[in-house]
Amino acid sequence: MAPVTQALLLANVAIFMLQQFAESLLVSYFALWPLNTPPEAGVSFWPWQLVTYSFLHGGLTHIAFNMLALWMFGGPIERLFGSRPFAVYYFVCVIGAAVAQLLVTAYVTGGYYPTLGASGGIFGLLLAYGMMYPHARILLLFPPIPMPAWLFVIGYGAVELFLGVTGTSAGVAHFAHLGGMAIGFVLIQYWRGKFPVKPRRILMR
């Protein structure tokens, strides 16, 4: 298994196990709390939460699906990008997803509830897979229908946007998912030199 992908898997599982003994403490300090969380809530936003929230999960099903997706898409993308650029890409997507969620909770939805889970980074990897391997076949679980990666990514993104705008699926950070995909697209295009300001070197292999 690709080394950074393996390390992320192990770290997520280890912290999930730690949550079983100290969930309240971990969520209070390391989940992503909105910028407008009132002082009387007893919790608040801290800069490190932009990254640490991605290692916390809300249950066995939550982490199981995220780690399955990390295993499926992380390896191919890490082998394509290289381990260091892959790590940069993953955490940029995590942070981009966090920023999107903070903006939405501050200016649209309101409320002060924590965001946790690796989905922002996972959606960034999904976007990268669809861009780098557009014709690879992905088999859906429900229903079990194969489709090209590019179609799956576009369709999944459209569903996330619909659910986020309509508020159909409460308790899911749809705009964080979209934020992870959006910043992943921007970073890949930057690395490809498709923006006016080109990077010093192209990190894609």
| Residues 90-140: tens digit of each pLDDT | 999 999 999 999 998 877 776 778 999 999 999 999 999 999 999 998 877
CB 67 within 8 A of CB 13: yes
What is the pLDDT, as a whole number, of residue 198?
52
Cis peptide, bond prior to residue 199, ω within 30 of zero: no
- Which of residues 175 and 63 earns the better pLDDT score? 63
Q: For 115, list phi and psi in degrees, rounded to 5.
A: -110, 135
Residues 67 and 13: their CA atoms lie apart, in Å, by 9
* pLDDT at residue 181 tops 50: yes
Write the DSSP string, 12-73. Answer: HHHHHHHHHHHHHHHHHHHSB--TT--GGGS----TTHHHHGGG--SSHHHHHHHHHHHHHH
3-class SS of residue 167: coil
Mean pLDDT value across the chain? 88
pLDDT at 165 over 80: no
Q: Considering Cα of 192, then 87, then 70, then 174, what sign does the dihedral take? A: negative
Rounded to two decimals, the pTM is 0.90
Residue 205: the pLDDT is 47
Query: Which residues have a Cβ under 8 Å from the Cβ of 180 and sit 6 or more positions away?
Result: 93, 94, 96, 97, 100, 119, 120, 121, 122, 123, 124, 127
Q: Residue 138: what are its φ and ψ, rounded to 5°?
A: -115, 130
Alpha-carbon 128 to chain mean position: 12
> What is the number of alpha carbons within 13 Å of residue 187 lying toward its C-beta?
26
pLDDT of residue 196: 58
pLDDT per residue as tens digits for the range 53-87: 999 999 999 999 999 999 999 999 999 999 999 99
Q: What percent of the chain has pLDDT over 70?
A: 90
> Which domains occur in the chain, in start order?
3-191 (1.20.1540.10)
Does pLDDT of 179 surpass 60?
A: yes
Q: Residue 142 — pLDDT band, cuts 50, 70, 90?
A: low
For residue 202, the model assigns a pLDDT of: 45
Task: Supply angle C-alpha 62, 66, 70, rounded to 5.
Answer: 165
Q: How many Cβ atoms sit within 10 Å of the Cβ of residue 203? A: 18
